[in-house]
Structure 1
Amino acid sequence: MAAVTDLLADIRALVECESPSADVAAVARCAEVVARVGTAHLRAEPERIVLDGRTHLRWRLGATPSRVLLLGHHDTVWPLGSLADHPCTVEGGVLRGPGCFDMKAGLVMAFHAAAGLDGVTLLVTGDEELGSPSSRGLIEEEARTVGAALVLEASAAGGALKTERKGTSMYEVRVIGRAAHAGLEPERGVNATIELAHQVLAVDALADRQAGTTVTATAASAGTTGNTVPAAGFLAVDVRARTVAEQDRVDRAIRALRPVLPGARVEVTGNPNRPPLEPAASAALFERVRRIAARLGLPEPTRAAVGGASDGNFTAGVGTPTLDGLGAVGGGAHAPDEHVLIDDLPGRTALLRALVEDLLAESTNPVARSGRAQP
């Protein structure tokens, strides 16, 4: 098993190099620290891939074609200066610090687990927290070439592996009305606020609780002054769906929104951002992990379905068997109490190493591809 002291030292090095996703210079600085820590274990320098100003790192380990993809990200949601209020600390069996759980500890685990292996690609991206706008194509390209993708995002509650993630879609609904004086001649206007209210209710009706589909009206605004019939309105919509079929259904329905008030117009922009990670994509890999854990004498893994998305959605979306949540055990992602449970790090890293070795030991792809292949 990896030594706890070594794991902690490496995690601290990454956490103490702040890397907010929107700051390309900070992400580039962090990439160099990640490269240094990774190279020390992998005995190879990574490729530095800069796309739209954002720095991603790729290691191809060994001389044989890669059969396993280890996937993570080094950007965080924490702004520069967060360490001043939330320093990296180790106390009472808990490591704290911005980005430690999501997901710099997972990167360190990957470095320790992959050392000396042949046939592994390790990809560390720098824009996951933004929705992976520049790295999506890179992730999908790598996923198509391997038999399995293992995602080092943090675990679900209690250390559960993430075997299902909802797909995400984001939309903007814009309403165009007509301004008029609210006191003198309101009848000449087309009230965008009223039209927006109709659209909010129409959007809300698209949710399907039984199917696990949420359609949430989030940010909204309309109007300019207190005595003017509003001429325009705006609504943001967040969609989460467990299946591709549900994601497609909601997409069609939102694009089909039509105005209710005479003279009003409705314009819809946006689209699905990440396909779902459906249970079929992870089932065989999860059963493999259960067998390996029993062989190693480690606690039996548990599984969880979560609403949040990750880059594992992309790997599953191109048909690659994917298991997510293999990173650290802890909690508080994106929150002031973000933390990692130290005692779980060595066993979790050993489990990851054994899983990769088990997959590499097979001469053919370890599990049949599943999910929806993308062109």
Structure 2
Amino acid sequence: MNAATAEAAITAWIATQGEAMLGELKAMVNTDGGSYDKAGVDAVGAQVRAFMERHAIPVETVRGERFGDCLRATVAGGDATASGNARQNIVLMGHRDTVFPKGEPERRPFRIEDGRAYGPGVADMKAGLVMNMFVLAAFAKHGGAPGPLVGLFTGDEEIGSPEGRAVIEAEARRARVVYNSEPGRPSGGIVTGRKGGVFSVVDIEGRAAHSGGNFEAGISAIGEMAAKITAIHALTDLQRGITLNVGLVSGGQSVNTVAPSAQMQIDLRYVEPADREEIMGKIHDIVARSSVPGTKATLTIRGEFLPLTQSPAAARLFEGYRAAASESGLEIKGEFSGGCADSGFTAAVGAPTLCAVGPVGGKAHSPEEYLEVATLVPRAQALARAILRLEGTGL
């Protein structure tokens, strides 16, 4: 089957799958799947596996000890005798976990209203997972892939991929290209650049004392935390795209006790890779320095994302995607996002990467999160076309 025939068959088949895609999406959204709910995330994985088995697509599991397993589905393609890039994997990537607490699907089950679908994780990024599932199924059914396809379904992206990162990076090192199916932007664009992020916790020790009867014997951890917050926020440099946010604080024992302990959690976002070392160095200096004599502080990094930067190869990948999407009636622009994603890990190891090629949605991580239902089929067709025309990018 030549490329034109394969493209016609695949896009025509995808055009008939809108209701089936919504059925899979409904089941997925109505399944609990917060990052710390391994059983729930793995239940979503079981749905993915069942779909792949119905379409005779092999799936292997990389077990997660604390968080959701990683699933790796494979569809053969290309010339088995070829060499170089032609034998490297074309990766379709996405995460199954959401940010929502246990029971959220029962409180807010999947629904469609005025052309938009709602429910926890409907856009971020269960619609992208469903899209990837059907694109893989289309190639498994009709053939025509210019190389081996890999569908990577991870389980812990929303907390920085503590277990998934190693799997993602290993996959990216042998990838020809990576398409990450995070939700398309509300404008319809895709993401060609993202900030990196470091999520850390600072624990501060002081000494308790009665705040009325023995005040001078106390050492206030909260007082020290206040000084550190001011210093950390002062590192923000909007012109460079560097932001620092202490988003969670806790501490103290009682209102009439000098606080013996306190904790703050820091969100750092940056654009340039070199900025990470500079700002983290300054944070370490602030943590080590005591404004309130006698306090001690320790910093622990709990999660991290690398920035997504557009290499020349990724720029060619974008142009190829944009041209392919135009035949699905989509006018695509590249956008920069302050949010982080697993695409930063794949780009950092050298894989040409596009992000947010999934169906269009908005208001992620909120009760108002939505998906534009009408984008499910055309975004799936656009991705399939981009894969089929990959040779034309020179990648």
Q: Which amino acid aligns with 2:129?
A: L
Alignment match, 1:163: 192
Aligned ranges for residues 63-74 of structure 1 at < 5 Å?
64=80, 65-74=87-96
Q: Which amino acid aligns with 2:58?
A: E
Contact 2:245/2:266 (8 A) holds in 1: yes
Alignment match, 2:106: 84
Alignment match, 1:7: 21
Asked if residue 240 in structure 1 is aligned to residue 262 in structure 2, the reply is: no
Are the structure 2 counterparts of residues 186 and 250 from structure 1 closer, same or farther at C-alpha, using a change threshold of 3 Å?
A: same
Alignment match, 1:17: 31
Alignment match, 1:39: 53
Contact 1:147/1:366 (8 A) holds in 2: no
> 20, 23, 28: which is aligned to 2:42?
28
Are the structure 2 counterparts of residues 344 and 222 from structure 1 closer, same or farther at C-alpha, using a change threshold of 3 Å?
A: closer
Are the structure 2 counterparts of residues 85 and 182 from structure 1 closer, same or farther at C-alpha, using a change threshold of 3 Å?
A: closer
- Identity of counterpart residues, as a percentage? 33
* C-alpha deviation, 1:350, in angstroms: 1.0
* C-alpha deviation, 1:211, in angstroms: 0.6
Alignment match, 2:316: 284
TM-score normalised over the length of structure 1: 0.89
* C-alpha deviation, 1:28, in angstroms: 2.2
The list of structure 1 runs, each at least 4 consecutive aligned residues, that deviate by more than 6 angstroms after superposition, is none
Alignment match, 2:6: none
Distance 1:231 1:76 in 2: 35
3-state secondary structure, aligned to 1:25: helix
3-state secondary structure, aligned to 1:279: coil
Asked if residue 111 in structure 1 is aligned to residue 125 in structure 2, the reply is: no
3-state secondary structure, aligned to 1:22: coil
Alignment match, 2:344: 313
3-state secondary structure, aligned to 2:201: strand
Are the structure 2 counterparts of residues 177 and 84 from structure 1 closer, same or farther at C-alpha, using a change threshold of 3 Å?
A: closer
3-state secondary structure, aligned to 1:350: helix
Moved more, 350-359 or 190-199: 190-199
* C-alpha deviation, 1:91, in angstroms: 4.1
Question: 1:58-92, CA deviations, whole angstroms, 9 ceiling, x for partnerless residues?
Answer: 01221654431110122223344333332223343
Alignment match, 1:372: none
Gaps of 5+ in 1: 368-375
> 226, 230, 237: which is aligned to 1:208?
237
Distance 1:98 1:139 in 2: 24
Alignment match, 1:52: 65
3-state secondary structure, aligned to 1:68: strand
Distance 2:302 2:20 in 1: 43
Distance 1:234 1:309 in 2: 24
* C-alpha deviation, 1:212, in angstroms: 0.9
Aligned ranges for residues 268-307 of structure 1 at < 5 Å?
268-270=299-301, 273-280=304-311, 282-294=314-326, 296=327, 298-307=329-338
> 71, 77, 98: which is aligned to 2:120?
98
Are the structure 2 counterparts of residues 366 and 147 from structure 1 closer, same or farther at C-alpha, using a change threshold of 3 Å?
A: farther
Question: 1:132-169, CA deviations, whole angstroms, 9 ceiling, x for partnerless residues?
Answer: 12111000000010121110111122221011111111
3-state secondary structure, aligned to 1:256: helix
Q: Which amino acid aligns with 1:30?
A: V
> 339, 346, 358: which is aligned to 2:377?
346
* C-alpha deviation, 1:271, in angstroms: 6.3
Asked if residue 256 in structure 1 is aligned to residue 275 in structure 2, the reply is: no
Asked if residue 127 in structure 1 is aligned to residue 149 in structure 2, the reply is: no
TM-score normalised over the length of structure 2: 0.85
Are the structure 2 counterparts of residues 271 and 278 from structure 1 closer, same or farther at C-alpha, using a change threshold of 3 Å?
A: farther
Question: 1:258-280, CA deviations, whole angstroms, 9 ceiling, x for partnerless residues?
Answer: 11233332322226611111233
Contact 1:47/1:59 (8 A) holds in 2: yes
Distance 1:181 1:346 in 2: 65
Q: Count residues with an aligned counterpart.
A: 362
* C-alpha deviation, 1:327, in angstroms: 0.5
Alignment match, 1:370: none
Asked if residue 184 in structure 1 is aligned to residue 206 in structure 2, the reply is: no
Gaps of 5+ in 2: 1-10, 81-86, 140-144
* C-alpha deviation, 1:203, in angstroms: 0.6
Contact 1:72/1:106 (8 A) holds in 2: yes
Alignment match, 1:371: none
Distance 2:120 2:328 in 1: 32
Distance 2:302 2:354 in 1: 25
Task: Choose between structure 1 and 2: higher helix proportion.
Answer: 2
Distance 1:23 1:297 in 2: 37
Distance 1:226 1:94 in 2: 48
Distance 1:16 1:262 in 2: 52
Question: 1:213-254, CA deviations, whole angstroms, 9 ceiling, x for partnerless residues?
Answer: 111112223322333322322221111111211122111111
Asked if residue 196 in structure 1 is aligned to residue 225 in structure 2, the reply is: yes
Distance 2:19 2:359 in 1: 15
Distance 2:387 2:349 in 1: 20
Contact 1:167/1:242 (8 A) holds in 2: yes
Distance 1:104 1:203 in 2: 35
